[in-house]
Amino acid sequence: MRRIQPNQELSRKLEIIGSKLELAANDALGQAKEYQGAELIEVLKLITKLYEDVARLKVISEELKQRDCED
């Protein structure tokens, strides 16, 4: 049985965290319709940051996978 490489394991964990973060952002976006004006803008800014973090996690996860392929 092949042992999972550390980068692979970390990559999977990052993917799970990213998925959960994306679900939270989606939920927040669904609830944002309850806000108006300045409050809505602030909520949308926070949601945007969540999606940016999800994208960063995906990039890091892909980089880790590439490192495992090179080893």
pLDDT > 80? residue 9:
yes
Mean pLDDT score across all residues of the chain: 91
The pLDDT tens digits for 18-51 are 999 999 999 999 999 999 999 999 999 999 999 9
Whether this prediction's pTM lies above 0.75 is answered by yes
Tokens (6 digits) for 24: 């939270």
pLDDT at 1 over 90: no
- DSSP string for residues in the chain: -PPPPHHHHHHHHHHHHHHHHHHHHHHHHHHGGG--HHHHHHHHHHHHHHHHHHHHHHHHHHHHHHHHHH-
At 3 the pLDDT is: 60
pLDDT value of residue 69: 77
